[in-house]
Structure 1
């Protein structure tokens, strides 16, 4: 049952990130509301409201048809314009910043909800039009349904105003960086809190039995409790060799076990692990480092030449690295006071190198950017309770950055400034 629940939860998370998810739900709800109103109209709801508040009701069939037709045509034009704005946002973000940002922007629920409101109202108005006869008198006309159609159209106009405001905010790089940072920060804080009581010691896995997944995809989620239960049943320890969030190749070693496992057990283990074809920051904080780094690199490219954006990106990377330094590198999970399961992680040294290698390539010739990167590394060195291997990785990157910068600078003044920063 838990396995089924996990698969349903993973499927929902995957589908929810699609741009058509919420619009489809809203469109279906608009259709259901239209059917409900047809049922209520058959039971005389408009006649009762007409007797109480006649000034709110449309009393002529031709007028009702004209009003709803105008609302319907305007809403279709509004939806086309809004959808075009979303596509423009995605295209601009891909060209100016990074294609990796597209999944996060597409999964923005606010855009999906607004498009869903449009679709629901359009479908409601269409089916309401079917129930109107021009020759009907005021007591047989579905006046209340027409009134609701007008009210829903007004709600769409309000949603459109909000949409224009939101779309103008979404394209700003500061808001994009902030959204990525908040998602990664939340993920890292969860991982840090889950590491309480962990140990650094785990058995040597060199000679353990190796198993493959038989499928490929991004390692998205894992049911740790079910895996630990299998470890208890088989009286073994396990090691997941691929860090969560990375791409798994079907013929590469994914699982190691202290004791041999039969095919049914391996299949049961793999069934408790979900694979996807896309990446989300909510599932993999490393992706946030990649996205912010790519934004900085793109900003420093000759075609864009926007050092201000690169500096903002480095500020967010600094804060994320400081938070990452609070997380351990072992990925060991304790079960019944024993180190039973280990999941490979992207180490701090690997993460630091991958980020700095890209930034050095495009920033080593710019004194201001080198100074900013040195400021980041110096700040990280001063973090309290930082592990020794983290400090060593930072020192290595600092030495490499300074060495490359000295070879790239044309001015002795620039060289003396960065040397002074290191000495201070």
Structure 2
């Protein structure tokens, strides 16, 4: 049951991130609500309103048909315009910033819900339209249902105004960076909280039994609770080999076990690994570093040349690195003081190198960005770290940045500014190289 629940939850999370999820749900709701109103009309709800509140009810068939037809036409036009705005947002984000941003923007619930409200109202009005009899008397006209259609349309107009406001905010780079940062920070803090209950000791797994994956995709979610139950029952320990978030190919080693396992147990373990074809920051915080890095690199590319956006990206990157420094490189899952599962994670050294290697290529010629990056290293060296070796990694990357800057910057005044920052950072650099 736990495995079924885990797979169902994972499937729901994947489907929920699709742009058509909420519109589809709301569309079905609008259709079923129209049938429900037809049932109420058969009980005489409109007849009661005609006799007691006649001003609120449309009692003419032709008028009701005209109103609903106008509402449907207007709502369809709003849907087309809103959908075009979403596609424009995705196109601009992909071309100006990074294609990796698309999954996060597509999964924006606000846009999905607004489109869903439009579709629900359109389907509701269409089915109510079919139930109208133009030649019937005023007691046969679904006046109350028509009134609700008008009210729903007014709600759609309000949603449309909010949609225009929201879409104009979503395309701004500061809001995009802030959303990425918040999601990544929440994910890292969750991992840090888990580390507090971990035992740092775990045996060497080189000689353990190795088992392979039967599927491929991005390693998105792992059900640690189920794996802990299996480990405790089978009296074994597991070492998960791929780093969470990377693309796992079919047939490569997935985990090692301290004991040799039966086929049924292996299948139970494999069922707790969920693979997807897309990456989300909420599941893999390293994707946030990739996205912000790509935004900085794209901003400094010759085709765009936007140093302001690059400076904003470095600010968010600095704060995100400061949060990551609180996390240890080791990741061990324990229960009752006993370590059962070890996970391979991307180290801080590897993370900083991957980020800085890309940024150095496009930013080394700009002294303002070089200074900004050196200020980032200065700030990070003052932060508490989960591992003292993190500071050595920062010094190494700062020296690499200065060496690249030296080969790209010819102005002596700019070089002197870089050297002053190196002195503040206490970097061991041979002045003759500059």
Q: Residues 356, 385 of structure 1: CA spacing in aligned structure 2 closer, same or farther, 3 A cutoff?
A: closer
Deviation at 1:338, TM superposition (A): 2.1
1:378 corresponding residue in structure 2: 378
Please state how far the C-alpha of 1:189 moved relative to its aligned partner.
0.9
Alignment match, 2:5 = 5
| RMSD after superposition | 1.0
TM-superposed CA distance for 1:171, in Å, is 0.5
Partner of 1:285: 285
* TM superposition shift of 1:386: 4.8
Contact 2:240–2:256 (Cα < 8 Å) also in 1 = yes
Partner of 1:400: 400
Q: Match of 1:172?
A: 172
SS of the residue 2:341 aligns to = strand
Q: What is the CA deviation profile of residues 227-275 of structure 1, one whole-angstrom value per residue up to 9, with x for unaligned ones? A: 1122122222110011211111112111011222222221111101111
Cα deviation, residue 200, structure 1: 2.9
- CA change 1:314–1:348 in 2 (3 A) is same
Normalised by the length of structure 2, the TM-score is 0.96
CA distance in 1 between partners of 2:34 and 2:403 (Å): 70
Rounded to whole Å, the distance in 2 between the matches of 1:235 and 1:110 is 47
Give the number of aligned pairs.
424
List per-residue Cα deviations over 1:297-323 (Å, max 9, x = no partner). Answer: 000000000000000001001001000
Q: In 1, distance between residues paired with 2:386 and 2:82? A: 48
Aligned residue in 2 for 1:328: 328
Q: What SS does the aligned partner of 1:401 have?
A: helix
- Which residue of structure 1 aligns with residue 15 of structure 2? 15
Q: Distance between the aligned counterparts of 1:36 and 1:332, measured in 2?
A: 53
In structure 1, the partner of 2:388 is 388
Give me the whole-angstrom Cα distance separating, in 2, the residues matched to 1:62 and 1:193. Answer: 65
In the aligned structure 2, how far is the partner of 1:71 from the partner of 1:403?
Answer: 65
Partners of 2:42 and 2:197 lie apart in 1 by 65
How far apart in 2 are the matches of 1:288 and 1:183? 8
Cross-structure match for 1:188 = 188
* Residues 116-125 or 194-203, more deviating: 194-203
2:347 counterpart of 1:352: no
State the TM-score, normalizing by the size of structure 1.
0.98
How much does 1:371 deviate?
0.6
Q: Residue in 2 aligned with 1:123?
A: 123
Query: Which residue of structure 2 lines up, in the alignment, with residue 238 of structure 1?
Result: 238
Tell me if the contact between 2:213 and 2:253 (Cα under 8 Å) persists in the aligned partners: yes
Distance 2:327 2:243 in 1: 14
Q: Residue 264 of structure 1 aligns with which residue?
A: 264
The secondary structure found in structure 1 opposite 2:211 is strand
How big is the shift at 1:160? 0.6
Deviations 1:318-340 (A, max 9, x none): 00100001111111122232222
Separation in 1 of the partners of 2:197 and 2:144?
63
Q: Deviations over 1:359-385 (max 9, x none)?
A: 001001110111111111111111124
Show structure 1 runs of 5+ residues with no match. Answer: none
Contact 2:23 2:119 in 1 (8 A): yes
- For the pair 1:200 / 2:193, whether they are aligned, the reply is no
How far did 1:59 drift? 1.9
* Aligned counterpart, 2:315: 315
Secondary structure class of the residue paired with 1:333: strand
Q: How far apart, in 2, do the equivalents of 1:386 and 1:327 lie?
A: 5
Name structure 2 gaps, 5 residues minimum: 425-434
State the distance in 2 between where 1:139 and 1:215 align.
62
Distance 1:265 1:59 in 2: 68
* Higher mean displacement: 403-412 or 16-25: 403-412
Q: Is the aligned partner of 1:297 residue 2:280?
A: no
Q: How far apart in 1 are the matches of 2:165 and 2:102?
A: 20
Q: Distance in 1 between matches of 2:12 and 2:197?
A: 32
More moved, 136-145 vs 307-316 = 136-145
Instruction: Indicate the residue corresponding to 1:50 in structure 2.
Output: 50
